[in-house]
Amino acid sequence: MNQEPILIFDFGSQFAQLIARRVRELNVFCQLVRHDLPAARVRELNPKGLIFSGGPASVYEKSAPKCDPKIYDLGIPILGICYGMHLVSHDLGAKVDPAHSREFGRAILHVHSATGFLEGLPDKSTVWMSHGDQVNQSSNDFEMLASTDTCPWAAVRHKTRPIYGIQFHPEVNHTEQGRLILKNFLMNICGCHALWKMQTFIDRTISEIREKVGNNRVICGLSGGVDSSVVAALLLKAIGPQAACIFVDNGLLRMGEADAVRKMFSEWYKADLHMVDAEKRFLDALKDVSDPQLKRKTIGYHFIEVFKQEARSIPNAKFLAQGTLYPDVIESGGAVDGPAATIKTHHNVGGLPKELGFELIEPLRDLFKDEVRRLGVELGLPEELVWRHPFPGPGLAVRCLGNITKDRLEILRKADKIFLQELKESGWYKKTSQAFVVLLPVQSVGVMGDGRTYENAVALRAVQTDDFMTADWSHLPHDFLAKISTRIINEVRGVNRVVYDISSKPPATIEWE
C-alpha cells in the first residue's frame, strides 16, 4: 500500500505526538523522526510532506536544534509550526527576534489570504499561541497570510518554495480551525489522498504476518487488556491455529477477568488458549511486600518465569507477538529514524523475546491507542473490551496499598466491581479516562447498627485526560458518589469508609503506587 507518508520532525515539542495523532485522524500516515534527519534519508523515505514541530529553544541560540539545510532543496512541502516556523524563516533569510509581547493562550487570527493553505478559513478565528519569539520580516521571500494583534507574521508562505509557517498550534483543540489548516496542507499542498484506512491496515498487516511466520507458530501473551486482545484477534485472523495465546492468572486481576478471557478467546475465537493458574505462586512471593517498586519487580520476575515455562511447552514456536504501540516505540527511542533520546525503556520493547530465543512481532507498533480501539472494532471485539480503561501491568497489587493478601484483594475486587458497574450504568464510564478503587492501608472507626466497627477505608479514583501525561480528576455528581459509597459500605464486608480522590496529575499520579 502506498501510504503517502508525512514526516514530523521533532524539535522537542510537548505537542509532537499530538500533531501525529491529528494527521492520522485525517487518514494520512505519518511518523515522528529526529530533527536532524539527513536530507539523503528523507529522499529515501519519499514523503509527501514534512512538518517541523514546535520546541522550547530559540533559533538564534548556538545550541538550538537545526535541520539538514539540504532538505529545503528537495522540493518537498514543509509546514513549520511555532519553532518550526522560526527555523524555516531563519534559514531562508527572515529575522527571528524575541517578541515585544509574548503570547501564551488564545489569540484572534486575522486571515489576509484565504486560499490554498488557509482555504475556507473565516476572516477571524481563535488560535492557540505559545511563544516568546516571532518572525520579523527582513526578506522579500516570504508572503504574509495571517496575523494577530501582536504578531504580524502569524502565518506565512515562501514565494518560490512550497514552504509554509504558522506561529500558532493547529494541533490543539483551542485552535478553532486547526483541523482545516492541517487538512489544507496535507491535501491541497502535499497532494495526499487520505489512504490511511483501518481496513487497508488490517489487510496489509495480515499479509505481512503470514509472509513472516510461514509454517511456524506465534505465541501471544494475553493480559485481557485492549492491546494484547487486539493483537490476539489480529493473529487469529491472520494465521488461525498457528497462534497460541498464554494467559497468566497471577491472582491480581479484577473480578471475573480470567473467566471473561477464557470465554472470549477459547469459546468465541476457538483459540489455542493456555490458561496458567499462578495465583499461589504470586501471592506467596508478595507476602509481606509493601514497597511499590519491590511489588513491581517481584511480579515482573515471576511473570517472566511462568511465561517462559509455558511458552516452552508449545511446539514449533518461533515468534512472540507483543502489543507495543507507537508511543511506546517513540519513548523507547526505537522509532524509524526517531527521536534520538530515549525517554524511557518500555516493558514491551526487548527482554522476554531475547530470553526465549524468539523473534518479535509487533503488529500495532505504528498505531496510537485510539487507532488500536478502532482496529478492535473492525476485528469484531466486544465494545466493552475495546473501550476498557487502562489497567496496570502489576494489576491490583498497586491498588492494594500495603501488604497483599487474598482477603484484602477480595475486598478490593468487590468494591471495584461496584464502582465500575455504577459508572457504566450511569454513562459516566465513557466520560472518564480511567477509574478504579484503591484499598488503603489504614482502618477507621465506624458505626454499623448499634455496634462499633474498625474496618478498611477505600478511595475512589476517576480522571479525565487526553494523553495520560497530565490528568484532571473527574467531577462526578455528589449524589452519584453518595450512591456508590452507600453500596460499597453496605455490600462489601470489611469496608466502613469511602473517600474520593480529587488530586490532579501533576502533582499526583493517576495510580497511587
269 pLDDT exceeds 90?
no
Catalytic one among 131, 158, 169, 346? Answer: 169
Per residue in 48-97, pLDDT (tens digit) is 999 999 988 888 888 899 999 999 999 999 999 999 999 999 899 888 87
**Residue at grid coordinates 488490517:** 202
Tell me if 480 sits within 8 A of 428, measured CB to CB.
yes
Of 91, 84, 186, 95, the residue nearest 130 (C-alpha):
84
| Rounded distance between C-alpha atoms, residue 240 and residue 31, angstroms | 31
d(CA 415, CA 427): 19
* Residue 260 reports pLDDT greater than 60: yes
Residue 138 is predicted with a pLDDT of 58
Does the active-site annotation cover 171? yes
The CATH class that applies to domain 198-386 reads alpha beta
**What is the pLDDT, as a whole number, of residue 384?**
86
Mean pLDDT score, 282-286: 97
Catalytic hit among 171, 310, 362, 422: 171
- Select the CATH number that applies to the domain covering 399-500 from these four: 3.30.300.10, 3.90.1170.50, 3.40.640.10, 1.10.3720.10: 3.30.300.10
Confidence of residue 216 (pLDDT cuts 50, 70, 90): very high
Q: What is the pLDDT of residues 2-39, one digit of tens each?
A: 578 999 999 988 788 889 989 999 999 998 899 999 99
Contact 418, 462 (CB under 8 A): no
CATH number for 6-189 (one of 3.40.50.880, 3.40.50.300, 3.40.50.460, 3.10.105.10): it is: 3.40.50.880
pLDDT number for residue 330: 67
292-348 pLDDT tens trace: 999 999 998 999 899 999 998 999 999 999 888 877 776 555 444 544 333 333 344
Q: What is the pLDDT of residue 370?
A: 85
- The stretch 251-261 carries a mean pLDDT of 93
Cα 26 to chain centroid, rounded = 18
Q: Give ranges for CATH 3.40.50.880 in the chain.
A: 6-189
Q: Confidence band (pLDDT; 50, 70, 90) for 151?
A: confident
The predicted structure's pLDDT at residue 72: 96
Residue spans of alpha helices (H) in 242-291: 257-261, 279-285
pLDDT, tens digit, for every residue of 436-476?
999 999 988 887 766 778 899 999 999 998 767 788 999 99
Q: Mean of the pLDDT values across residues 401-425?
A: 97
Q: State the average pLDDT for the chain.
A: 89
Q: Which of 30, 67, 82, 151 is catalytic?
A: 82
Binding site feature residues:
223-229
Does 192 qualify as catalytic in the annotation? Answer: no
- Give the span between the Cα atoms of 401 and 415, in whole angstroms: 14
pLDDT at 275: 95
Reply yes or no on whether the pLDDT at 241 is more than 50.
yes
- Locate CATH 3.30.300.10 in the chain: 399-500
CA separation for the pair 15, 375 (Å, rounded): 24
Residue bearing cell 497460541: 244
Q: State the pLDDT at residue 100.
A: 65
User: Is the backbone of residue 255 left (phi > 0), alpha (psi -120 to 50) or beta?
Assistant: beta
Q: Is 383 a catalytic residue?
A: no
The whole-number pLDDT of residue 102 equals 60
Mean pLDDT, rounded, for 501-511: 93
Task: Output DSSP code: residue 9.
Answer: E
Alpha carbon distances (Å) from 262 to 224, 247, 267, 269:
10, 9, 7, 10
**From-to residues of CATH 3.40.50.620 in the chain:** 198-386
Question: Hey, what long-range contacts does 290-299 have (CB within 8 A, 24 or more apart)?
Answer: 290/401, 290/402, 290/403, 290/441, 292/398, 292/513, 295/394, 295/397, 295/398, 295/404, 295/513, 296/393, 296/394, 296/397, 296/398, 299/250, 299/252, 299/393, 299/394, 299/395, 299/397
In the annotated binding site for ATP, the residues are: 223-229
Average of per-residue pLDDT across 218-227: 90
pLDDT of residue 355: 66
Looking at residue 134, its pLDDT comes to: 78
